[in-house]
Amino acid sequence: MNPTLRILLVDDEELARLRLRTLVADCREVPATVVGEAANAVQAADFLAAHPCDLLLLDVHMPGLDGMQFAARLRQQARPPAIVFVTAHAEHALQAFELEAVDYLTKPVKRERLQAALQRVAQRLAPRDEATVAGAEPEVLVVSDRGRVVRVPVAEVLYLKAELKYVTLRTAAHSHVLDDSLSDLEARLGDRFLRVHRNALVARAAVRALERRVMAGEGDDEAGEGWAVRIAPVDEWLAVSRRQLAAVREALLAVGR
Cis bond upstream, residue 127 (ω within 30): no
Q: Are residues 63 and 79 in the same domain?
A: yes
Maximum distance among all Cα pairs of the chain, rounded to whole angstroms: 57
Q: Are residues 204 and 108 in the same domain?
A: no
Torsion of CA 74, 188, 137, 32, to 10 degrees: 80
Q: Are residues 173 and 222 in the same domain?
A: yes
E strand segments, 39-172: 55-58, 82-87, 103-106, 140-145, 148-153, 159-163, 166-170
Rounded Cα distance, 162 and 181, in Å = 8
Rounded Cα distance, 60 and 92, in Å = 8
Tell me the average pLDDT of the chain: 85
- Give the chain's domain count: 2
- Find the CATH number of the domain harbouring 228: 2.40.50.1020
Point out the domain boundary residue: 70, 105, 134. Answer: 134
Q: Are residues 59 and 115 in the same domain?
A: yes
* Closest to 243 (Cα-Cα) out of 226, 231, 256, 223: 226
Q: What is the pLDDT of residues 113-127, one digit of tens each?
A: 898 889 878 877 765
User: Residue 65: its pLDDT value, please?
Assistant: 94
Q: What is the pLDDT of residues 65-75, one digit of tens each?
A: 999 999 999 98
Point out the domain boundary residue: 80, 101, 134. Answer: 134
Q: Are residues 150 and 245 in the same domain?
A: yes
Higher pLDDT, 97 or 27: 27
Q: Are residues 196 and 211 in the same domain?
A: yes
Q: Are residues 39 and 128 in the same domain?
A: yes
Which domain, by its residues, includes 210?
A: 140-255
* Closest to 81 (Cα-Cα) out of 5, 13, 20: 5
Q: Which of 14-28, 40-54, 141-155 has the lowest mean pLDDT?
A: 141-155
- Find the CATH number of the domain harbouring 94: 3.40.50.2300
pLDDT at residue 141 is higher than 90: no
